[in-house]
Homo-oligomer: A and B are copies of this chain.
Amino acid sequence: MDFAFDETTMDYHARLSDFLDTHVHPAEAAYDAHPAGDWSPPPILAELQAEARARGLWNLFLPGEHGAGLTNLQYAPLAELTGRSPALAPAALNCAAPDTGNMELLAEFGTPAQRKEWLEPLLDGRIRSAFAMTEPDVASSDATNITTSIVRDGDEYVINGRKWFITGAMNPACAILIVMGKTDPSAERHRQQSQILVPRDTPGVRIVRGMRTFGYDDGTHGGHAEIIFDGVRVPAENLIGAEGDGFAISQARLGPGRIHHCMRLIGMAERAVELMCRRVLSREAFGRPLADQGVVQDWIAESRVRIEQLRLLVFKTAWLMDTVGNRGAHTEIQAIKIAAPSTVEWILDKAVQAHGAGGVSQDTPLAQLWVAARTLRLADGPDEVHRRGLARRELARWTA
């Protein structure tokens, strides 16, 4: 057992820190001034992307030939760093959800033609993408509940259904949607689903509105769209894998997606602790700095204690994914999915409180970061579903 980073990690970490300090953090103010209802990223993003590429900080998330070739364990502390500026840094590095998951999916399951048409421009940052799974009318945390239909009709598939919270879909650069639906409702429960590529400009794809998270529309991400698929037709070769592979593909996609979220959440927590400390050192009440208040010290200590524990579990999970695979790391992936959002939400709440009225406002990133953490207690399945799954595996150890 050894808790030191390897050299590759330390090298990337130093270079990424420098890029964040010199380019990303200074650009945050411009980002924050983004007008409501504008779904395209601010122009500065393109500049940041160019700089990141020039510095060799591009597609770090992707193992193997298509990406930077880092292991999950090597990528973890880098993803954490990007979480310090989550509206900007991941996109600047072409490491933003949902594109990351979509690129992984295409790299693993796409045909050469699919990879050429969609993976290449995604890797190149020329287009963006969305992943259309969640539906308003069913508990989508269980993918078997999906009701959108994908029906073969000659050389085409016809898609009908309603999706919501489709992140990034309103970004003008979003060219492609990966849609999850059912090709065979009569098949075995985990073989009913398929995934299919739908160019966003296909007739019948109708974007209804942007869903908000608390008061935010997340316009710089391309928002969270509600979309109606009304008789949408795409060529049969747009199917990813075979009919019935949809559930298995989505399971493969989830592991890395979840750990990336957790890594970034830790960066968000570190940002919160930094802002909280700076605030309480500089703000006075009742004649002395807030930092002298025992209650505030409790928040800071407890934040540090929780972050240190959480980060190690995320690292261990990454190490397991590298050594025994996503399936072997299932328990740990579920554990961090449970632990990270609520832990980081707690820390952000304290940082907000330490800032007083300013903490809930647009003058710090804290309120919006809090919403991101809070929303992750629901995204990819609510905490309650994951706790149930984890408990069942624990109980199974004692039943044999």
Which residues of A does B touch, CB under 8 Å? Answer: 1-6, 9, 36-37, 73, 134, 136, 139, 141-142, 164-165, 211-217, 273-274, 277-278, 280-281, 283-286, 291, 293-298, 300-302, 304-306, 308-310, 312-313, 315-316, 319-320, 331-332, 335, 338-339, 352-353, 356-363, 367-368, 370-371, 374-375, 377-379, 382-392, 394-395, 397-399
Determine which of B215, B293, B315 lies in contact with A368 in the assembled complex, contact meaning CB atoms within 8 Å: B215
Q: Are B390 and A291 in contact (CB under 8 A)?
A: no
Instruction: Determine the chain B residues whose CB is within 8 A of the CB of A371 once the complex forms.
Output: 214-215, 360
> Roughly how many angstroms separate A304 CA and B389 CA in the complex, as a whole number?
12
Ordered by A's residue number, 6 sampled pairs between the chains whose C-beta atoms are within 8 Å are A3-B316, A211-B357, A297-B395, A300-B394, A308-B313, A360-B374
Nearest B residue to A215 via CB reads B215
Instruction: Determine the chain B residues whose CB is within 8 A of the CB of A367 once the complex forms.
Output: 212-215
> Roughly how many angstroms separate A295 CA and B298 CA in the complex, as a whole number?
8
Top 8 A-B residue pairs of the complex, sorted by shortest distance between their CB atoms = A215-B215, A294-B294, A215-B216, A297-B391, A309-B309, A312-B312, A301-B387, A139-B285
Q: Are B214 and A394 in contact (CB under 8 A)?
A: no
Chain B nearest Cβ from A211, distance in angstroms: 5
Q: Are B305 and A339 in contact (CB under 8 A)?
A: yes
Q: Are A382 and B356 in contact (CB under 8 A)?
A: yes
Instruction: Determine the chain B residues whose CB is within 8 A of the CB of A284 once the complex forms.
Output: 139
Instruction: Determine the chain B residues whose CB is within 8 A of the CB of A375 once the complex forms.
Output: 360
Instruction: Determine the chain B residues whose CB is within 8 A of the CB of A310 once the complex forms.
Output: 309
- Given A281-B398, A339-B309, A367-B213, are A384 and B73 also a contact pair (CB < 8 Å)? no
Instruction: Determine the chain B residues whose CB is within 8 A of the CB of A339 once the complex forms.
Output: 305-306, 309
Determine which of B1, B217, B302, B387 lies in contact with A387 in the assembled complex, contact meaning CB atoms within 8 Å: B302
Q: Are B301 and A391 in contact (CB under 8 A)?
A: yes
Q: Are B378 and A211 in contact (CB under 8 A)?
A: no
> Roughly how many angstroms separate A294 CA and B291 CA in the complex, as a whole number?
12
Chain B nearest Cβ from A368, distance in angstroms: 7
- Given A2-B1, A309-B310, A379-B357, are A212 and B362 also a contact pair (CB < 8 Å)? yes
Q: Are B384 and A357 in contact (CB under 8 A)?
A: no
Chain B nearest Cβ from A373, distance in angstroms: 12
> Roughly how many angstroms separate A377 CA and B60 CA in the complex, as a whole number?
41
Determine which of B134, B217, B298, B306 lies in contact with A357 in the assembled complex, contact meaning CB atoms within 8 Å: B134
Instruction: Determine the chain B residues whose CB is within 8 A of the CB of A358 once the complex forms.
Output: 136
Instruction: Determine the chain B residues whose CB is within 8 A of the CB of A383 once the complex forms.
Output: 353
Q: Are A139 and B313 in contact (CB under 8 A)?
A: no
Q: Are A395 and B277 in contact (CB under 8 A)?
A: yes
> Roughly how many angstroms separate A219 CA and B312 CA in the complex, as a whole number?
39
Q: Are A319 and B215 in contact (CB under 8 A)?
A: no
- Given A300-B395, A394-B277, are A356 and B378 also a contact pair (CB < 8 Å)? yes
Q: Are B357 and A391 in contact (CB under 8 A)?
A: no
Instruction: Determine the chain B residues whose CB is within 8 A of the CB of A312 once the complex forms.
Output: 309, 312-313, 316
**Most B C-beta atoms less than 10 A away, residue of A37, A165, A313:** A313
Q: Are A281 and B212 in contact (CB under 8 A)?
A: no
Instruction: Determine the chain B residues whose CB is within 8 A of the CB of A6 once the complex forms.
Output: 1
Determine which of B316, B352, B384 lies in contact with A294 in the assembled complex, contact meaning CB atoms within 8 Å: B384
Instruction: Determine the chain B residues whose CB is within 8 A of the CB of A398 once the complex forms.
Output: 274, 277-278, 281
Chain B nearest Cβ from A42, distance in angstroms: 18
> Roughly how many angstroms separate A306 CA and B305 CA in the complex, as a whole number?
12
> Roughly how many angstroms separate A391 CA and B302 CA in the complex, as a whole number?
8
Instruction: Determine the chain B residues whose CB is within 8 A of the CB of A280 once the complex forms.
Output: 395
Chain B nearest Cβ from A146, distance in angstroms: 13
- Given A1-B315, A316-B312, are A139 and B294 also a contact pair (CB < 8 Å)? no
* Additional A-B contact list (13), CB under 8 Å, known A295-B295, A304-B391: A1-B5, A36-B36, A134-B357, A139-B283, A211-B363, A212-B361, A214-B370, A277-B398, A304-B331, A304-B335, A305-B338, A312-B312, A356-B382
